[in-house]
């Protein structure tokens, strides 16, 4: 940690920690982002211990990662996080990704509170004081905020999935990283091999639970600059208007 207002953590990617393209799996990077956010909240006195007496807990609603270079096998990378804004309903938290000390990308996240019992939206008022003092108005994150995301309008692929034991976290709902894995699995392997991940946007709409069966729908398009855009969503089975998680992936052809 360089100051009280930010927190950094470094990682090394082992061979066992890589995916089929010898990259850091996106779900692992998302897990690192969440863990660092939780650790920083604890440092600021607005973590689980501070929120539990008020019957509320943090949830991440949106996430965008944009990287000029994605971490690969044996890289040493560092994440640094800081609070960008806070109000009574939500807080924005940003991240910088460096590889071997050089800037490689950024992430933007939006967090809010839910009632621990009802799982409905709750006010952040009990803890906003601790966040107010940590806001870094001088720290700039150069990537745009996550857009509004839903299910693709004209999906070209659909598959069914039923959530099991290994998909659950300690709250007994589907863990964030497993949504990410399912969204990433909409990328064909040959496309993943010949492209680099440039940006991933994710929006988390509602919680899925054990034994829920969902549809994973995806639509692949080519942008004007030749990049590939995959819009994907995890929806209720047979009802693509009921979205659990939506994502958009931008891939750039390798030189």
Has this prediction a pTM greater than 0.85? Answer: yes
Please provide the DSSP assignment of 68-119 as one string: SS--BTT-EEEEEEEEEEE-SSEEEEEEEEEETTEEEEEEEEEEEEEETTT-
128 and 170, same domain (yes or no): no
154 and 66, same domain (yes or no): no
Calculate the CA dihedral of residues 175, 181, 182, 187 and round it to 10 degrees: 160
Task: Tell me what the mean pLDDT of segment 24-43 comes to.
Answer: 96
On whether the CB atoms of residues 204 and 179 are closer than 8 A, the answer is: yes
Q: Is the pLDDT of residue 126 over 70?
A: yes
Q: Is the pLDDT of residue 2 over 50?
A: no
99, 114, 146 — which closes off a domain?
Answer: 146
Q: How far apart are the C-alpha atoms of 104 and 85, rounded to whole Å?
A: 23
Q: How many domains would you assign to the chain?
A: 2
Number of Cβ atoms within 10 Å of the Cβ of 8: 16
What are the pLDDT digits (tens) for 72-117?
999 999 999 999 999 988 999 999 999 999 999 999 999 999 998 8
Copy the structure tokens of residue 104: 């490689």
113 and 163, same domain (yes or no): no
Number of Cβ atoms within 10 Å of the Cβ of 23: 20
18 and 99, same domain (yes or no): yes
CATH of the domain at 153: 3.10.129.10
What are the pLDDT digits (tens) for 139-195?
889 999 888 999 999 999 999 999 999 999 988 999 999 999 999 999 999 999 999
Query: Closest Cα to residue 230, out of 146, 142, 154?
Result: 154
128, 146, 164 — which closes off a domain?
Answer: 146
> Which band of pLDDT confidence, cut at 50, 70 and 90, is reported for residue 4?
confident
82 and 158, same domain (yes or no): no
> Which band of pLDDT confidence, cut at 50, 70 and 90, is reported for residue 1?
very low
135 and 190, same domain (yes or no): no
141 and 152, same domain (yes or no): no
- Structural domain harbouring 182: 148-255
21 and 115, same domain (yes or no): yes
Give the start-end residues of each E strand in 178-238: 195-204, 213-222, 228-236
Choice among 22-26, 52-56, 64-68, 178-182 with the minimum mean pLDDT: 52-56
121 and 157, same domain (yes or no): no
Copy the structure tokens of residue 250: 């931008």
What are the pLDDT digits (tens) for 211-246?
999 999 999 999 999 999 999 999 999 999 999 999
92, 122, 146 — which closes off a domain?
Answer: 146
Per-residue confidence (pLDDT) for residue 134, from 0 to 100:
85
156 and 120, same domain (yes or no): no
Which value, in Å, is the radius of gyration of the alpha carbons in the chain? 18
105 and 33, same domain (yes or no): yes
On whether the CB atoms of residues 242 and 191 are closer than 8 A, the answer is: no
126 and 175, same domain (yes or no): no
Q: Is the pLDDT of residue 3 over 70?
A: no
């Amino acid at each position: 940690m360089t100051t009280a207002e930010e927190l950094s953590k470094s990682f090394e990617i082992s061979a066992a920690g890589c995916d089929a393209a010898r990259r850091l799996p996106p779900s692992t990077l998302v897990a690192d982002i969440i863990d660092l956010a939780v650790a920083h909240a604890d440092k600021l006195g607005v973590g689980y211990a501070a929120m539990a007496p008020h019957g509320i807990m943090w949830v991440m609603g949106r996430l965008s990662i944009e990287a000029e270079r994605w971490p690969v096998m044996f890289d040493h990378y560092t994440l640094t996080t800081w609070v960008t804004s806070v109000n009574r309903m939500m807080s924005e938290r940003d991240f910088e990704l460096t590889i071997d000390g050089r800037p490689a990308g950024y992430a933007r996240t939006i967090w809010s509170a839910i009632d621990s019992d009802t799982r409905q939206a709750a006010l952040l008022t009990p803890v906003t004081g601790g966040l107010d003092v940590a806001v870094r108005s001088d720290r700039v994150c150069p990537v745009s905020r996550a857009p509004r995301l839903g299910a693709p309008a004209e999906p070209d692929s659909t598959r069914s999935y039923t959530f099991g034991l290994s998909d659950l976290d300690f709250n007994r709902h589907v863990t964030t990283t497993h949504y990410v894995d399912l969204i990433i699995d909409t990328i064909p392997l040959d496309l993943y091999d010949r492209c680099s991940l440039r940006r991933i946007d994710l929006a988390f709409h509602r919680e899925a639970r054990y034994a829920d069966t969902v549809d994973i729908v995806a639509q692949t398009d080519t942008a004007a600059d030749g990049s590939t855009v995959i819009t994907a969503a995890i929806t209720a089975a047979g009802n693509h208007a009921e979205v659990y998680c939506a994502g958009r992936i931008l891939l750039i052809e390798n030189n």
